[in-house]
Each structure stands twice: as C-alpha cells, then as structure tokens.
Amino acid sequence: MADTPDPNKPNAPSSDSHEPIPLEPADPHQSEPSSTPGKAEIDSPGLLDDFEPGADFDTDPELERVVKGIPVDEAGEPLSPPTGKVVADADSATPAGEPISSQASWRLPAAIGAFVTLTAAVFAGIYADNTIWAFVLITIYWAILHTATGVGALVITAVLLGRPIGHFEGAAARMFLVVSLFLVVFRLDIPIPLHFEETILAAAAYFGGLVFAFRLAPRDAAVVAGAHFGLVLLVGVGSLLSSVIQAGAVVGAVG
C-alpha cells in the first residue's frame, strides 16, 4: 500500500500553494497592449493585396467562358479559334450592317467606265457586219440602261441582305464600270468556233468587276449578279412584247 504524504513534513505540498481559479468570464473589452499606441498589430496580409489595382470584381471571367461556351486549355486560358475557320467566315459574307458601297468616290470609276464603254462601242462598230452606227449606239444605250438595272439590283440586294446601300453616287459609278467591262468583252470577236464564248467571258469579267469594284464577298456578289440578271430578263421580255405588239399592229393595218 502506498504511503500517504504526511502533511506535517516540510516537503509535503501545502494546500495554500495553488492560486484560486477565477470563475467569472474575462472582460471582452480588455485587450493586450500593442507595441504602438493607437495602432493594432496584424501580421497576416490583407485580403486584396494579391489583386491588381483597378481589378474588376463585378464580372467573373470563368463563369462567362462557361456560359458563352469558349473553349479553354488545361491551364484554363481561352483558346483562340482555328485560323482556317476565321478565314472561311470572313470570306463567306460581308458583316451585316456594312454598306454595300462603302466608298463615296465616283469620278474615277465613272471616267474609267466611260472609257471602257467607248472602247466597247468601237469594237461593236469594227466587228459589225452592217449598220455600224446602230451597233455603236446600241452598245452605249445598253451601258446606260443596264447601269440603271444594276443599281436596281444593288437595291434589291440591300433589302435581301438587310444592309444599307451606302453612297449612291459611288454605287452607280462602280456599277457603270462593271457593266462596261461586260460590254467590252461581249463585243470582242474571239476566233473560237462557238457562239457563246464572248457571253461566258463577259459574265466572268462582270462578276470579277463586282467583287473588285464593290469589295464584296463572292456570296454577296452572286446575289447582286442574280438580281441584275433577273432585271435584265424582265427588261428583255418587255422589249420583246413591245415588238410583238408593234408587229401585230402593222399586220393589222396592212390587212
């Protein structure tokens, strides 16, 4: 049995050697004195120390990438779209809202168109079998008439594509140039044993002139060419009906 300590021995622990334990809660307003009077010591860094000055806390880039479906790499950085896709989208059509004729200058294309039209009229007179002046005048007439139908085709294209036509003077001058390119090739007497090679080459010159003069995407230029062809057919049908009516009136008068 273990010996119990004798309270009368000098090495025995006294009951008075322990201080009483305070039972009341400490004062919450009482704080440790700081080394600098009036300033608190905070050893941890601030919450905003890692952000750049002027950082935008109203948007979340990661959330926007998820909502918009932007692809990201392994590090979470957005991936740039493939170069081939960007070029294909850029060549497919002109951005919506951009004018069809964005250039206001008209004097230079009108002057070039007039020169090319006169050249086409000269070719028409050279290669005409008879009635030379009739071929010369009809070539100039076609240039004026189908410049007007071409402007109408530009208006139709603007409505179909939902884009403004832009500068009207520049559009008319460039359409005059494009029509003159068609006529100068159409009036050539190419020594090929076919009867429609001039028409095919003239159509190619017309389409290339549309793309170059108006700086149109090929798809938009095709819309202009289709509308222009439809108006030319409409005018041709009207001229044909007028000739039939006049011929019938002459036959009726003779009979």
Cβ contacts of 171 within 8 Å, gap of 6 or more: 100, 101, 151, 154, 165, 214
SS3 string, 8-74, reads CCCCCCCCCCCCCCCCCCCCCCCCCCCCCCCCCCCCCCCCCCCCCCCCCCCCCHHHHHHHHCCCECC
Tokens of 63: 């959330």
Put residue 59 in one of left, alpha, beta given phi > 0 → left and psi -120 to 50 → alpha.
beta
Q: What's the confidence (pLDDT) of residue 92?
A: 47
In which element (H, E) is residue 150 found? helix 132-161
Report the C-alpha gap between 207 and 234 in whole angstroms.
20
**pLDDT tens for residues 68-100?**
556 666 665 666 655 444 444 444 455 556 888
Report the C-alpha gap between 129 and 191 in whole angstroms.
16
- The three-state secondary structure class of 90 is helix
Tokens of 100: 């069809």
Q: Are 228 and 145 in contact (CB under 8 A)?
A: no
**pLDDT tens for residues 179-217?**
999 999 999 888 777 668 889 999 999 999 999 999 999
Listed range (70-74, 129-133, 156-160, 181-185) with the worst mean pLDDT: 70-74
C-beta neighbour count of 227 within 10 angstroms: 21
Q: What's the confidence (pLDDT) of residue 89?
A: 45
**pLDDT tens for residues 30-57?**
555 555 555 555 566 666 666 666 666 6
Report the C-alpha gap between 82 and 178 in whole angstroms.
36
